[in-house]
A and B are shown apart, each in its own frame.
Chain A
């Protein structure tokens, strides 16, 4: 019988990897569809808003990577115990996403001069600003990002690690030992370790 869920994205980690981590962690079967660049133009028209990833379940299609993660987190029980706790997780995920968007902007900038400037600001100001605060937050939360235990915020954070190392530099987390330990802790979870070994090796 086909899996209950189908996740469609490009052939990369990108903004879909967090969802894949959640599926794997919760041992929820899913069809991991990877769209080739050449096939994207025709498929684009069929998606809700011309974007990936798209999650399909019970004949319904939905986009938006973080919202998909929030839904899956409930399915695999990596959420808070009440609305305020879920607000704390949501806020941290959104903050990490803000950082991700800034890194992305610097990475994909085409103009060489602009890119150089963006990268300098990123490395000297933006990344330290966010990671210092997230480091302090994790220190107050027994090594996890929120609520003193594993939540989908930690999955979201860790799933972006490989891309972060690629774009920014893999030594960055040496300055943030609590965050580094968190990444290692999540990557060592058996289901995640297995997935990271088995997943396609991709450019992004």
Chain B
């Protein structure tokens, strides 16, 4: 029988990897569809708003990576015990997403000189601003980002942090032992360790 869920994205971790982690963590079978760049133009028009990832389930298709991740997090019980706790997780996820949006600008910049300047700005104003504050959150939360235990915010941070070093050319989390600890803890989970071994090899 075909898996109940189909996740469609490009052949990279990117915005879909948190969802892939959540599926793996929960032992939920999913069809991991990876679009080739040359096929994207045709696929794009079939998507609700021309974006991926999308999740297909029971004949319905939805988009928006974080909305999908939140849904999966509920399925695999990596959420809060009440609405305020879920707000705390959501707010941390949004903050991590703010970091992501600032990093994206670097990848989109074509001009070398401007790119170099953007990288310096990211190191100073993005990593330099957000990471110390997130580091402090982890110290207050027994080695996790929120609620003193594993939540989907830790998964999102872990998958995004892959690109920190790609952007800056440095080991960004070297100065943030607690954040580094979150990533190591998540990647050491048996289900995640297995996923990282079997997943298609991509550049990062």
Which residues of chain A have a CB within 8 Å of any CB of chain B? 48-50, 55, 57-58, 60, 62-64, 66-68, 70-71, 74-75, 83-84, 86-88, 90-91, 93-95, 98, 129-130, 133
Per the bound structure, the CA–CA distance linking A132 and B62 in Å amounts to 17
Number of B interface residues, CB 8 Å?
32
- Interface pair B49/A95, CB less than 8 Å apart: yes
CB distance from B147 to the nearest CB of A (A): 12
Within 8 A of A (CB), among B130-177: 130, 133
**Chain B contacts for A71, CB-based, 8 A:** 83-84, 86-87, 90
**Chain B contacts for A58, CB-based, 8 A:** 84
- Interface pair A64/B91, CB less than 8 Å apart: yes
A49-B133, A84-B57 known; A62-B71 Cβ under 8 A: no
**Chain B contacts for A67, CB-based, 8 A:** 87, 90-91, 93-94
Give the most central of B48, B50, B93: most A CB within 10 Å. Answer: B48
- Interface pair B63/A62, CB less than 8 Å apart: no
Q: Does B129 touch A at the CB level, under 8 Å?
A: yes
Q: Does B95 touch A at the CB level, under 8 Å?
A: yes
- Interface pair B88/A66, CB less than 8 Å apart: no
A71-B84, A133-B48 known; A87-B94 Cβ under 8 A: no
Per the bound structure, the CA–CA distance linking A58 and B74 in Å amounts to 25
- Interface pair B94/A64, CB less than 8 Å apart: yes
Known: A68-B91, A91-B64. 10 other contacts (CB 8 A): A62-B88, A71-B86, A83-B71, A90-B64, A91-B68, A94-B66, A95-B49, A129-B49, A133-B48, A133-B49
CB distance from A130 to the nearest CB of B (A): 7
Q: Does B70 touch A at the CB level, under 8 Å?
A: yes
- Interface pair A90/B70, CB less than 8 Å apart: yes
Q: Does B194 touch A at the CB level, under 8 Å?
A: no
CB distance from B104 to the nearest CB of A (A): 12
Within 8 A of A (CB), among B84-107: 84, 86-88, 90-91, 93-95, 98
A64-B94, A64-B95 known; A87-B129 Cβ under 8 A: no
What are the 4 tightest A-B residue pairs by CB atom distance, in nearest-first order?
A90-B67, A67-B90, A87-B71, A64-B94
Q: Does B75 touch A at the CB level, under 8 Å?
A: yes
Chain A proximity mask over B20-47: 1 for CB below 8 Å, otherwise 0: 0000000000000000000000000000
Per the bound structure, the CA–CA distance linking A87 and B98 in Å amounts to 21
CB distance from A8 to the nearest CB of B (A): 14
- Interface pair B83/A94, CB less than 8 Å apart: no
- Interface pair B67/A49, CB less than 8 Å apart: no
Per the bound structure, the CA–CA distance linking A83 and B98 in Å amounts to 25
Per the bound structure, the CA–CA distance linking A87 and B53 in Å amounts to 14
**Chain A contacts for B64, CB-based, 8 A:** 90-91, 94-95
- Interface pair B84/A57, CB less than 8 Å apart: yes
- Interface pair A88/B62, CB less than 8 Å apart: yes
A87-B62, A95-B49 known; A64-B90 Cβ under 8 A: yes
Per the bound structure, the CA–CA distance linking A48 and B98 in Å amounts to 13
Subset of 30 A-B contacts with CB under 8 Å: A48-B91, A49-B95, A63-B91, A64-B95, A67-B93, A68-B87, A70-B86, A71-B83, A71-B84, A71-B87, A71-B90, A74-B83, A83-B74, A83-B75, A84-B57, A84-B71, A86-B70, A87-B67, A88-B62, A90-B67, A91-B62, A91-B64, A91-B67, A91-B68, A94-B67, A95-B63, A95-B64, A98-B51, A129-B49, A130-B49
